[in-house]
Amino acid sequence: MASVLEEKDQIRELLANYCYHYDEAEFDRWLGLWDDADPSFDIDGHVLRGRDALVQFTRNAVLVNGKPPMKHYIMNELVSVNGDTATASCYLLVVRKMDNGELLAGSAGRYDDKLVKKNGRWLFAQRKCRRDLRDVRNTDGPKK
pTM for this prediction: 0.89
Distances (CA, A) of 64 to 3, 10, 107, 144: 42, 31, 19, 6
Distance of alpha carbon 72 from alpha carbon 50, whole angstroms: 23
Q: What are phi and psi of 92, to 5 degrees?
A: -130, 135
Which of 75, 58, 82 has the alpha carbon at shortest distance from 16? 75
pLDDT digits (tens, 9 = 90+) for 8-30: 999 999 999 999 999 999 999 99
**Beta pairing partners, 85:** 82, 116
pLDDT digits (tens, 9 = 90+) for 31-83: 999 999 999 999 999 999 999 999 999 999 999 889 999 999 999 999 999 99
Q: Are 78 and 58 in contact (CB under 8 A)?
A: no
Q: Which domains does the chain have, with CATH numbers?
A: 4-133 (3.10.450.50)
